[in-house]
Amino acid sequence: MKALCFDRFGDADVLYYGEVADPNLKQGEVMVELKAIGLNFADVYRRKGNYHLKGNPPYIAGYEGAGVVINNNGSSKFKIGDRVGFADVPFANAALVAVPETHLIPLPEKITFETAAASLLQGLTAQYLATDSHAVSQGEFVLIHAVAGGVGQLLTQICKLKGATVIGLTSSPEKAAIAHHAGVDEIFLYSENWVEKVINYTKGVHITYDSVGSTLTNSFTATRDTGHVVFYGMSGGDPAPVDPRMLMDTSKTLTGGDLWSYLTSGEERIKRSNQLFEWIIAGQIKLDEPTKFRLSEGADAHRYLESRKSTGKILLIP
């Protein structure tokens, strides 16, 4: 089969489109022929050697995709021809992927391969953040860091769906326009005194979603007493240590967030994906049109992702 590979770590030039052996199916796995593959920053980190990566050279990155079952390996749950997606299966930057049954997500008729590959990873992240890390409710003020990013835009729409007022943080007027399009009520730039502006606008938010890390101390300042901070990413670097005495004195809470803590079974994957798909089918969540590259153009796709010029999802099409 064909795959997007690399033998050493480095910039996008290390990627090449080559022939590799088809996957060997193990007990409990089915073979999926991919139709669309989601490209994520984690794949850039894997290519650079900064993120966990399975296997030996030639390396194949990618964890998110959608396609058709072509060998069900005796499965009683899936049959040949079933349309499926997944959010957490390695070696996805290829024509074929061996997928554990427990990781397969059946696709409703109205969800295309491209929609599934463009929404599962970031959508399931936004879903658990707004329902598990903190159950967003009517009338709350929610502050979202990196609001123009993929998770930020989806999280904004879910919070609005639940009746919250959303305040977003981003780095430029161009990204602010993207966030406004997603439904943000008010937005501030990181170059401004955003903590003061958030407090003046809300008297302190009820919940802050921080994916930057280095901003965590300021996130607590912008959050009202008895409020809640969810820390789920470190795009800006490690946060400063949190003082437990501050938490006690202000009755604020800190929750860590990681998607893999919630995708613990096939049933959980399907239940959470179905809720996400229902929102998409009903038009309550809208996705930007993805930018598509052929899998053979994977190096160009990585360069485009790293350029920060993209606003929607980038897909690789085998």
Q: Say if residue 58 is preceded by a cis peptide, omega within 30 of 0.
A: yes
Which residues contact residue 183 at a Cβ distance below 8 angstroms, ignoring those fewer than 6 apart? 156, 157, 160, 166
Q: Kindly report the pTM of this predicted structure.
A: 0.93
For 209, phi then psi, to 5°, come to: -105, 110
Q: Pseudo-torsion of CA 281, 124, 153, 205, nearest 10°? A: 120
> Mean pLDDT for each consecutive 10-residue tract of the chain (318 residues)?
97 97 96 97 91 87 97 94 97 98 97 97 97 97 95 97 97 92 96 97 98 96 98 90 97 96 95 97 93 97 86 90
The 3-state secondary structure of 282-298, one letter per residue? CCCCCCCCCEEEEHHHH
Count of beta carbons in the 10 Å neighbourhood of residue 196: 12
Q: What is the DSSP letter of 103?
A: G
Structure token digits, residue 239: 């946060």
Specify the pLDDT at position 54. 82
Specify the pLDDT at position 22. 96
Structure token digits, residue 189: 């730039």
Structure token digits, residue 70: 């072509």
Q: Which domains does the chain have, with CATH numbers?
A: 2-120+264-317 (3.90.180.10), 138-256 (3.40.50.720)
How wide is the angle at C-alpha 303 spanned by C-alphas 300 and 307, nearest 5°?
Answer: 140
Specify the pLDDT at position 162. 97
Distance CA 69, CA 66 (A): 10
Strand order in the sheet with 205-210: 186-189, 165-170, 141-144, 205-210, 223-231, 253-256
What is the per-residue burial (b if ≥16 Cβ within 10 Å, else e) of 154-180?
Answer: bbbbbbbebebbbbbbbeeeebbebbb
Specify the pLDDT at position 288. 87
